[in-house]
Structure 1
Amino acid sequence: MSRAEQPSRRTVLAAVAATAVAAPAVAGGAAPAVAAPGGSSASGATGESGSRRRRPAGQVDHRAWASFRDWRSGTAQGTRAVPGRRPGIAIAAPAGTLDYTDPHTGTTAPWEYAVWTSPVHRLAVPATEVIASWNAETPAGTWIQVELRGTYSDGTDTPWYVMGRWAAGDQDIRRTSVDGQGDGRSSVWTDTFAIDDAATGLRLVACRLRLTLHRRPGTGATPVVRRLGAMGSDIPDRFTVPASVPRLARELVVPRYSQEIHKGRYPEYDNGGEAWCSPTSSQMIIEYWGGRLTEEQLAWVDPSYDDPQVCHAARYTFDHEYAGCGNWPFNAAYAATFRGLQSVVTRLGSLTDLERLIAAGIPVITSQSFLEEELTGAGYGTSGHLMTVIGFTADGDVIANDPASPGNEAVRRVYRRREWENIWLRTKRYNASGKVVSGTGGVCYLYFPAHPSLRQRLALAAVGVR
């Protein structure tokens, strides 16, 4: 099946949702080192319940828990706030023991657990969608579960929804999203909470996140969560977006990796490299920041394969429920297993936002979908694809490392600004059959130093990330 013919997860899920409404540390050793720029971590103004708030951008609200004060502000059941230059939350004394049956192996095992629940965060933007993301260390014998509960605009609450069960390795559990979650008014589609019918005016006006930390009984090991975030958004339906004015000419030097050279390799991970745009893009930016995998960590990869780190990224971002490597928070969590990096999933509002980040030295992984004729020079169409924006030409055109290239030497592409801007930011489009389907509305992954420079902090704050 060609890339243009393949239905993306989000196209399929949007169709399923519409039908439903109509019907009533990297595994294998210590975390690799990253040479991260210096600087102190960001701090922000506090709002209700101790929340750090961004100024509303009108369509996106991003809230993160990452400071020692943040971790002390929640409700703890067996957890403790970990101080230090990069604080976190860890198991102190387990709240109890539970049995977990892994749905992908059938194995049942006991796990000690502890729970941290965030304060309620009132969204500056009443949301139709919410995506959670996290940065965590999960040594062998540990894993985490992330859940979300929200309050609707009519004052009622959602259930607790599982947004992910995650471990850096795959020796203890299979990292997984959870299908089949909904209450008739909202649903979770792989990694995204969504209001089932936004046209009713129903919105999510507040939310809280819950972390459950697990470890094998009696081991004394603990996961440590360093960052936890929720990105709420209400992006209007749109086939086109206003054109932005070019303001920057700069290109970052980012490693170039092709997903296509991995075609057919490790088909157990979403049929091989043909579907690995997300982990390939992630690996490019991880290495831009200095992240490296050791020979020991790569020992499982066939030694005849070029760029074994791309195979590794695919394995360790793979979502066993979705059966693919494109789970947005799982990719961000993988990047944050590299020492000195942190990550978020968010939405940006324009190419001006992207220019701010590039000016500060921060490349961006973007999600888009398009017909071949909508993006000059791509040579393909796609119902969902990730690429890495590394700069802008003097004319304002987008310079991207596009992993959907025949080889590493062909990865660097220049795409027309107006075309690229529209396919990334729109929320509605026509597919090859003329049917109206969804677009991603500016979704991106941001990977950046755990201790950003002042310039980086200001650029991140300008796009709502603190």
Structure 2
Amino acid sequence: MRRSALLLMFGALVLFGVAAGDGGRAEAASPAPYVDFDRHQSHAALSSGSASGVVVTKTKTGGVVRLAEGRTGGTLTSKVYGTSFPFDTLVPSWNARTPSGTWLTVEVRVRDRETGWSRWFSAGQWASGSDTIKRQSVAGQSTTRWALDTDVLQSKGRVFADAYQYRLTLKTKKSGATPRVRSVSFANSDSYRHGTSLGHSSDRGAWGRNLAVPQRSQMIYPDGGEVWCSPTSLSMVMAYWSQKQGVAGWNRSVPTVAGGTYDHTYKGNGNWPFNVAYASSAGLDGDVSRFGSLAQAEEWVEAGVPVIASLSWGQGQLSGAPIPSSAGHLLVIRGFTPSGDVIVNDPAASSNSGVQRTYKRSEFYAAWMRGSGGVVYLVRPVGWQKPSQTYASGSW
């Protein structure tokens, strides 16, 4: 992430008294969006590329990519997707199931506006279990103009692309077993505009709403819990949907989710697409996207969907936080107070009972934009109604 550019931008916004897109009432006219989120899940979309050794079958909710009969490997290369504005940052995510003996890789390349197509960058090899391969991202992927750091493809300097293309590779070691990919998503954005106002005025429909997300602390686990913010947040959201939908299998312990999201190259559990892919392997839908305002998060909470957000803050920058600072931390937005402050489940609390907290709206927004430029996990049941496009600004 371009943290130095983002911090400079934040300083300018504060200097000129701009509300920085936090969803309050005093917003300027809506500027052009800087996030272009694409989700490819329909049979037509998944079938529009070129396939070798794989087939795309129709389902009630769209399409599924799987290996052709008798094949142990195959690829699907998508068509070229242009974006509505030049971008310098891309975050992939996918929804899939990988039975024992199977795995997949997701690759992406971008069309640089000056030099043409980049090389293919790998988002890693992935399987929901650990009995077949080591789930891992790929280190050392860099050119003079682009680099993929674990889960984010980012340009170097003021370099922009105007299109992307993805490639799925499916593999199996077991006859008759195949990965099944039901969606591939990409959050493309202009990082120089992360944190700038989207002109959203909150409709306050979520103010006073607090979703019943179970409280779980990462800190009660001695063997790695201090770095388990992402799987703990995901475990809480999966447990919420388990209670709401009556699906017992979605209620999984923090250590179980941590084991299912571990990246053997990154040596941690914070790989964004690996987390939503894990939720999808249990039967939920999940995407990594990027928001620019709390008004957008409010729309999802109003739709009954808790939002997992990525933050960072320094000493004194997030009042009431259970830890004094963090260079990168994930938590769950579960609601808003009647005055619009943010109600969260913060897994860094020392016990389960202290997980629910309330953060000042302006402080939370600054930490969110500073930490990740507004990155979110959107995990919900398949077919769950999304908010309207009124506040989307390209983010869903």
Q: TM-score, normalised by structure 1?
A: 0.73
2:170 to 196, 205, 213: 213
Aligned: 1:359 with 2:282: no
Give the aligned partner of residue 430 of structure 1: none
Aligned to 2:82: 122
Task: Provide structure 2 residue ranges, at least 5 long, that are not aligned to the other structure.
Answer: 5-30
CA distance in 1, matches of 2:378, 2:317: 25
What does residue 138 of structure 2 align with? 178
Following superposition, which runs of at least 4 residues in structure 1 exceed 4 angstroms of deviation?
A: 237-246
Q: Could you tell me which residue of structure 2 aligns to residue 88 of structure 1? A: 64
Q: Does 1:334 align with 2:282?
A: no
1:253 aligns to what? Answer: 212
Paired position in structure 2 for 1:319: 263
For the pair 1:66 / 2:36, whether they are aligned, the reply is: no
SS at match of 2:331: strand
Does the Cα contact within 8 Å between 2:235 and 2:252 map onto a contact in 1?
no
Q: Name the counterpart of 1:39.
A: none
Q: CA 1:129–1:240 in structure 2 vs 1: closer, same or farther (change >3 Å)?
A: closer
For 1:204 and 1:82, the matched residues in 2 are separated by 32
Which residue of the other structure, out of 138, 143, 162, is the alignment partner of 2:122? 162
Q: What are the superposed Cα offsets for residues 10-53 of structure 1, whole Å, 9 maximum, x if unpaired? A: 69xx89xxxxxxxxxxxxxxxxxxxxxxxxxxxxxxxxxxxxxx
User: 2:274 aligns to what SS in structure 1?
Assistant: helix
What CA RMSD, in Å, does the superposition of the two structures yield over aligned residues? Answer: 2.3
Distance 1:308 1:131, change over 3 A: closer
Task: Report how far residue 413 of structure 1 moved.
Answer: 0.2
Amino acid at match of 1:214: K
Q: Distance in 2 between matches of 1:286 and 1:69?
A: 30
**Structure-to-structure mapping, 1:228-243, within 5 angstroms:** 228-236=184-192
CA contact (8 A) 1:94 1:113 kept: no
Matched with 1:408 is 352
1:139 to 88, 99, 103: 99
Equivalent-residue separation in structure 1 for 2:197 and 2:46 (angstroms): 39
Question: Which of 273, 282, 300 lines up with 2:234 in the alignment?
Answer: 282
Q: Distance in 2 between matches of 1:308 and 1:91?
A: 29
Q: Which runs of 5+ in 1 are unaligned?
A: 1-9, 16-55, 96-111, 266-271, 295-306, 427-438
Number of paired residues? 361
**Among 447, 451, 458, the residue aligned to 2:388:** 458
**Are residues 1:204 and 2:166 paired?**
no
CA–CA separation in structure 1 for the residues paired with 2:303 and 2:56: 31
Give CA-to-partner distance per residue, 1:133-165, whole Å, 9 cap, x none: 000010001000000011101151110110121
| Post-superposition CA distance 1:415-438 (Å, at most 9, x none) | 001111111123xxxxxxxxxxxx
C-alpha deviation, 1:458, in angstroms: 2.6
Q: Distance in 1 between matches of 2:393 and 2:334?
A: 17
Aligned partners of 1:343, 1:308: CA distance in 2, in Å? 16
Name the CA distance, whole Å, in 2 between partners of 1:450 and 1:189: 29
Asked if the contact 1:90/1:213 (under 8 Å) is kept, the reply is: yes
Matched, 1:391 2:335: yes
- Asked if structure 2 preserves the Cα contact closer than 8 Å seen for 1:150 and 1:204, the reply is yes
Q: Distance in 1 between matches of 2:197 and 2:313?
A: 15
The aligned amino acid for 1:279 is P
Letter in 2 for 1:232: N
Give me the whole-angstrom Cα distance separating, in 2, the residues matched to 1:336 and 1:64. Answer: 14
1:441 matched to 2:373? The reply is: yes
